[in-house]
Amino acid sequence: MVMPSSDVKDAARSFSNADIGALAHLYRAEVYRSTIWRTRLDNTTNWSVVTLGIALSITFSSREASPLPLVLVGILVSLFLVLEARRYRYFNVWRARARWMETHFYAPMLREGDLHTEDGWQDTLAEDYLRPRYHISFLRAIGRRLRRNYVWILLIQTVAYAGKIIIHPAPVSGFSELAARAAVGPLPGEAVLVCGLFYNLAWIGTAVITLQMDKASHRHTRDSAAMG
C-alpha cells in the first residue's frame, strides 16, 4: 500500500529520543572538526603576517636597505594564500554541515517548540555524507580568504614597497629615478613596476570575480534542498 504524501512527510519529520541524541552528537562532531580546521586557517594567516613583518624589518632597517625582501615576500604570501584556500575548502565542508543542522533542525525546534522542519533537509545531509564533496571551488575559496584576510596583508606589502622606493634613501625626483630604484639585478625597473602592477590587478580581479561568483551561487541555492 502506498503511504499518503502527508504521512510520508510526517514520518520524515519525526525523530525519536535516540535519533535526537545521535543528531546532537553528530552536530558536536561537525563543530569540533570545523574548529580544528579553523585553527589551521589561522596558522597560515599568522605565517603570512610574520613573514611580512620580517620583510618590513629588513627593508626599513636602514636607508640603504634593498626593497627586494618586500618583493620576495609576495611570493610567500601568495603560497600561503593558496594553502589556506585549500584548507578552507575542507573547513567549509564541516561548517556547512553544522550550519545545516542549526538552521533546519535546532532553529525550528527552538522557534516552534517541536520538530516540524523543512522537507528534504535530512536527504540533503545524508547525501552529503554518502557522497562527500567540496561545496565551493578552489577559485572561490581563494577569493574568500583574499577578501577577508589577505587583502590587508597585500595592501600593506604594496604600500610599504612603494614607500620604500619613493623615500629611501631620499625622496625621488622623477620617474627615471623611481625606475632605477625598482630595478632588481638584470631586470629593469620598468619591468619590475609593470609586474607589480599586474600582480596587484590580478588579486583585485580575483577578489571581484569570486565575489560575483559567490553572489550568483547564493542566489541559486536559497532553496531548502541545497547545501553550501
What's the rounded Cα separation, in Å, for the pair 96 and 40? 17
At residue 138, the 3 state secondary structure works out as helix
C-alpha to C-alpha distance for 218 and 227, rounded to whole angstroms = 10
Contacts of 90 (CB under 8 A, 6+ apart): 37
Among residues of the chain, what percentage have pLDDT more than 70? Answer: 86
End-to-end C-alpha distance for the chain, whole angstroms: 37
Cα–Cα distance measured from residue 58 to residue 104, given in angstroms and rounded to the nearest whole number: 52
Does the predicted model carry a pTM greater than 0.75?
A: yes
- One-letter amino acid at 144 equals R
Whether 38 and 91 have beta carbons less than 8 Å apart is answered as: yes
> 184 phi and psi, to 5 degrees?
-125, 105
Distance CA 185, CA 130 (A): 55
- Residue that has been written with the C-alpha cell 607589480 in this structure: 196
89-109 pLDDT per residue, tens: 999 999 999 999 988 888 888
State how far the Cα of 94 lies from the Cα of 117, in Å rounded to an integer: 21
DSSP state of 4: P
The 10s digit of each residue's pLDDT in 170-217 is 888 888 999 988 998 888 999 999 999 999 999 999 999 999 998 888
Bridge partners, 184 (sequence order): 187
Closest CA to 143 of 63, 226, 208, 216: 208
